[in-house]
Structure 1
């Protein structure tokens, strides 16, 4: 666990030196300044848990520094020191967010006790905010499905949630893999700790490594300061690696070391760091095939594949479609609208190459386009449908691959072949979209 970081600001140099030495011996990471202006420079460079300000400072006084600090870092606890203690000054300091107020001359043991109280107060605030966040997330957290195949996966998720072993979640795009990763987190003892998601296919290799493990100042062009990686941000909680199959081979080696030892290095650093996280990975690729073809390390695959959750596609759990439609309408922009029997029947007969995500988009579109109280078939604009002499026809006699080709091509055309936007709509990485364009020989008209 990192040390508590203190900022001490006092223009009495002898007292400042004494405070810095004493508090450093007590195990704090102490930074100091003799003026408010120098303190503001430090505050812009890094975060401080606790700040100790003398009220009487040259030029900008301690009260003004207190106000500026609270604007920049509301979470910093601030103690005010003064040799001119008056009730009015104390009230003013507390009114602007000071945690406490000590009058010079003060006992150093009293100051240390006040710092400890500020530490405890800060921890309590963090815990309360964490609990509020968890309650909010639980209130918004829905996994909807009553089909036997879906309930089976849900039951397995609950059984393994409290374990520390890695989990590999597999399933087609749009099936809700991240939702199950969050379920593993929020149904576990780690619920109060961070849930951090990393998209392995969204960034080039060097940027992905920096995003994952962090970097030190000067590690590469543009690295102007040290940066904590998402692995550190997830310490104590869950690290979710989405689009695992897109991870570059060179980075897979470093991920394997991290999984085996819990150790890693920031980019450009020589120091080993250690964190404890539960790793959950997700992919829409056939990982065994990726291993056979040399695109993914076999040892890393087996290290991650301790427990596997296979999320069923929506076409295999069609009895859940009415439940999902009700949820999406209720939480959409027009919750008062209903869906017509004809539209519901069409959706239950549709194959959904984009799975639950596609159903969500179809309902959003239907709510937007429907003129009456009901969402009709024509409001959904289902793929593979055409109007002829007032009749709507649908060709279901085609393979899933053909459905996927037509769906991807339709989205690309609607996005004017903007691949970034198309990938966002499809719910896949841009790299994955390029691969599918090559695979299916799709060409812009």
Structure 2
């Protein structure tokens, strides 16, 4: 049984009726028109897989109709019907976008074969588009790193990707937990199914339950219609629960039941529903501590913690920092930008509290503030020196030591340009030289 939807346009009424009857018997859904103008009206109301146009039509010809169809429904495959005197026109139509042409008089069996080929071509294009979408989704996330501690986690991710068991991803903020959740999805057999994320900290308890499981009309004030939850939206794919440690205790009970059976109820509903999803959860908290303190159910923790991925912080994989720098500079599409050796040294010795996300913001800031092709350490605006000075100041007890640190900091910030430093300090260059000798300051 054929399922393609056909549009046939021909001003020969008897031939048109014959074609329609024959193709309907073959199982096609068919609509027809005798003029291009009527065909355009149909194209604006209905979607067609294949269109069959006679080149010679009154007023607007088939070539013009072909051009307009490609604008209205670009994915429709179009067959052209032509007489012996218009074969060159038919070939021109194929250059414009027609799939094929048949010369009148044609054999109906030949037409059916050509329609089948057009249908196969369209299905193949859809399949290719689907694959392109999967590739595009893959390329939306970049998992970067070559350090041993990181590649070990990455290899474990690949090994468990095709499994259905729940996974708990732990790591500090900014380490890329959602990227690993997407990797688990797109490296699995569920890659062409939905990946649905929900942030447990983003909504109050009642709204979070509705967002997760859906609700029925009248379940609460403002519930004016039935709503499908994210659990249903993820059916067949992956449900990603971010900020798991923020989930309210009452909702944890319902999540546990769902994990054990795949069944749930929409808010306000009595009917049980069932879906098949792979659950991946992420948290920046220590869940063992959360369980011990009574903030998280122990049974739910063990149900989610079948496999744990612990994403290392950036300070434990500093050899990956240059890879990230190159990626973020290229991502910004800034031609010729590079980091100075001093800037790279400071980044590799900086304790990233915000991990990869913080590094990204620092590089973006450096690109914005740099005045040449080279991003200098000063362009990064790292708080390293300031924090180091504050720590020193806390242990100081004399104005002399304070003055020494202040002068040294200014000199370092201006790369020991003594004229500029003297101007900032509000002293003469001669007086600055005297202070340098007094405090035995040496350029780094």
Which category describes the TM-score, using the shorter chain as reference length?
A: 0.5 to 0.7
Matches within 5 A, 1:273-288: 280-284=280-284
Pair 298,79 (structure 1): closer, same or farther in 2 beyond 3 Å: farther
1:155 aligns to 2:155 (yes or no): yes
Shift of 1:87: 0.7
Contact conserved, 1:99 with 1:118, CA < 8 A, in 2? yes
1:358 aligns to 2:358 (yes or no): yes
Matches within 5 A, 1:322-401: 322-329=322-329, 332=332, 333=334, 335-341=336-342, 343-371=343-371, 374-383=374-383, 386=386, 393=389
For 1:309, the equivalent position in structure 2 comes to 309
Contact conserved, 2:329 with 2:363, CA < 8 A, in 1? yes
The secondary structure found in structure 2 opposite 1:356 is helix
For 2:405, the equivalent position in structure 1 comes to none
Matches within 5 A, 1:79-118: 79-81=79-81, 86-103=86-103, 107-118=107-118
Matches within 5 A, 1:9-88: 9-10=8-9, 12=13, 14-15=17-18, 18=21, 21-23=24-26, 26=27, 30=29, 32=31, 34=33, 35-43=38-46, 48=48, 50-55=49-54, 61-81=61-81, 86-88=86-88
How does the TM-score come out when normalised to structure 2? Answer: 0.60
Pair 90,139 (structure 1): closer, same or farther in 2 beyond 3 Å: same
For 2:406, the equivalent position in structure 1 comes to none
CA RMSD of aligned residues (A): 5.5
The secondary structure found in structure 2 opposite 1:32 is strand
Shift of 1:337: 1.9
The secondary structure found in structure 2 opposite 1:328 is helix
The secondary structure found in structure 1 opposite 2:156 is helix
Instruction: Say which is worse superposed, 292-301 or 83-92, in terms of deviation.
Output: 292-301
For 2:242, the equivalent position in structure 1 comes to 243
In 1, Cα distance between the equivalents of 2:297 and 2:354?
Answer: 28
Matches within 5 A, 1:197-236: 198-200=197-199
In 2, Cα distance between the equivalents of 1:19 and 1:207?
Answer: 55
Contact conserved, 2:175 with 2:355, CA < 8 A, in 1? yes
Shift of 1:8: 2.2
In 2, Cα distance between the equivalents of 1:73 and 1:41?
Answer: 9
Contact conserved, 1:37 with 1:60, CA < 8 A, in 2? no
Contact conserved, 1:177 with 1:282, CA < 8 A, in 2? yes
Please give the per-residue CA displacement for 1:156-182, whole angstroms capped at 9, x wherever unaligned: 112113334443433333211233234
For 1:417, the equivalent position in structure 2 comes to none
Pair 138,127 (structure 1): closer, same or farther in 2 beyond 3 Å: same
Contact conserved, 1:240 with 1:279, CA < 8 A, in 2? yes
- Whichever of the two has the greater Rg, that structure is 2
Gapped regions of structure 1 (runs ≥ 5): 399-445
Gapped regions of structure 2 (runs ≥ 5): 217-221, 395-444
Pair 182,51 (structure 1): closer, same or farther in 2 beyond 3 Å: same
The secondary structure found in structure 2 opposite 1:350 is coil
Contact conserved, 1:334 with 1:367, CA < 8 A, in 2? no
Pair 195,176 (structure 1): closer, same or farther in 2 beyond 3 Å: farther
Shift of 1:250: 8.1
The secondary structure found in structure 2 opposite 1:144 is coil
Shift of 1:51: 1.9
Pair 315,256 (structure 1): closer, same or farther in 2 beyond 3 Å: farther
Contact conserved, 1:52 with 1:81, CA < 8 A, in 2? no
For 2:429, the equivalent position in structure 1 comes to none
Contact conserved, 1:325 with 1:363, CA < 8 A, in 2? yes
In 2, Cα distance between the equivalents of 1:17 and 1:273?
Answer: 43
Pair 383,261 (structure 1): closer, same or farther in 2 beyond 3 Å: same
Contact conserved, 1:194 with 1:233, CA < 8 A, in 2? no
In 1, Cα distance between the equivalents of 2:8 and 2:212?
Answer: 34
Contact conserved, 1:340 with 1:375, CA < 8 A, in 2? no
Contact conserved, 1:200 with 1:208, CA < 8 A, in 2? no
How does the TM-score come out when normalised to structure 1? Answer: 0.60
